[in-house]
């Protein structure tokens, strides 16, 4: 039995739909294997669920996703943890005086992905959606669409992130 199957068995019955939804989003044919599994792993990291991230990484490797996707997933989760706090603050405050100040936050990894710019941006979009940063969601959606990804791909990536975030919460309910 895989680590993912073992984790999914622990999902309480009240969250049974999430187990079923995971299979559906991980089979979304609009996304490549690297995009599907990269988004899922980035989402698990963003949700603070390291066991789920490890299990998804193992399952993604078994499904043939490239190692670079998991590297970019970790990078997206880390960079966006920083960016979503900073840019959500600027957006919520809404003062021009903050918007005019340079962020001075290093984000060079976004320019040098292990996969492709579009794939890393798609993973970043998924993490931004989890963290609820409207400014980041809009910016990353714009980049991925301009890079040639479709709205269907964006939709499927965010659906996957939502399901993985839900699973992380369901696993936290275990024994509650």
Catalytic residues: 133, 136
Q: What is d(CA 126, CA 76) in angstroms, rounded to the nearest whole number?
A: 9
Q: Residue 72 phi/psi, 5° resolution?
A: -70, -30
Q: What is d(CA 99, CA 3) in angstroms, rounded to the nearest whole number?
A: 44
- Whether residue 171 contacts residue 52, with contact meaning beta carbons closer than 8 Å, is answered with yes
Does residue 77 come out as left (phi exceeding 0), alpha (psi in the -120 to 50 range) or beta?
alpha
Q: What is d(CA 105, CA 86) in angstroms, rounded to the nearest whole number?
A: 9
């Amino acid at each position: 039995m895989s680590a993912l199957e073992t984790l999914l068995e622990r999902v309480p019955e009240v969250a049974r739909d999430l187990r079923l939804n995971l299979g559906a989003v991980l089979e979304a044919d609009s996304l490549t294997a690297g995009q599907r599994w990269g988004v899922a792993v980035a989402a698990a990291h963003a949700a603070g669920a390291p066991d789920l991230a490890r299990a998804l990484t193992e399952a993604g490797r078994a499904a043939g996703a490239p190692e670079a996707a998991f590297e970019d997933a970790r990078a997206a989760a880390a960079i966006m943890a920083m960016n979503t706090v900073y840019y959500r603050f600027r957006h919520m405050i809404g003062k021009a005086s903050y918007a005019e100040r340079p962020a001075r936050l290093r984000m060079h990894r976004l320019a040098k992905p292990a996969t492709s710019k579009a794939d890393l941006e798609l993973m970043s979009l998924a993490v931004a959606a989890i963290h609820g940063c409207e400014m980041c969601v809009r910016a990353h959606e714009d980049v991925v669409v301009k890079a040639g990804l479709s709205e269907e791909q964006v939709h499927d990536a965010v659906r996957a992130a939502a399901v993985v975030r839900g699973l992380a919460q369901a696993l936290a309910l275990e024994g509650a």
